[in-house]
């Protein structure tokens, strides 16, 4: 397997509109895409950075994974998404190498992508997402 691009860095925020405005005003970052991902209980705004994105994430309901993350850890870096050609084979290779999966099989992500998450406990403390566009 090969990582083809740093797809996105995801940052959990409490107020998506405030975060979008701050990234625009302070860093000149523009929103390329917005999406409500009901299954995950999140709304996201993707800010374009060259071929990658900063993904601002906010929960849409109490008790969702991002809501619980904000309660425990506060705002900040949530996960890193790596682009791959084949999510299923990348996931299998990571599991074979000892990574603990959160998703046993790839599932739909935002932008029509296919994704799978790897647990931070076997990834030096960072939640990792494998993203097949």
10 touches Co ion (CB under 5 A)? yes
Start-to-end CA span in the chain (Å): 15
Contact window for Co ion (CB under 5 A) among 7-15, 65-73, 94-102, 119-127: 7-15
Min separation Cβ 55 and Co ion, Å: 5
7 touches Co ion (CB under 5 A)? no
Nearer to Co ion, 25 or 50 (CB): 50
59 touches Co ion (CB under 5 A)? no
Per DSSP bridges, beta strands 42-49 and 31-37 are: antiparallel
Q: Smallest Cα–Cα separation from 130: which of 101, 122, 49, 12?
A: 101
129 touches Co ion (CB under 5 A)? yes
Structure tokens, 7 = 């797809």
Element (H, E) at 70: helix 65-73
Catalog residues that contact Co ion under the rule CB under 5 A: 10, 81, 129
């Amino acid at each position: 397997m090969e990582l083809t691009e740093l797809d996105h860095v995801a940052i959990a925020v409490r107020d998506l509109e405030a975060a979008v405005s701050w990234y625009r005003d302070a860093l000149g970052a523009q929103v390329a895409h917005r999406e409500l991902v009901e299954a995950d209980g999140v709304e996201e705004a993707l800010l374009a950075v060259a071929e990658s994105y900063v993904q601002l994430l906010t929960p849409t309901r109490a008790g969702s994974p991002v809501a619980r993350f904000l309660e425990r850890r506060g705002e900040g870096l949530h996960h890193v998404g790596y682009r791959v050609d084949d999510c299923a084979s990348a996931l299998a290779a990571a599991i074979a190498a000892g990574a603990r999966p959160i998703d046993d099989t790839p599932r739909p992500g935002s932008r029509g992508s296919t994704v799978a998450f790897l647990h931070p406990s076997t990834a030096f403390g960072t939640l990792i997402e494998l993203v097949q566009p």
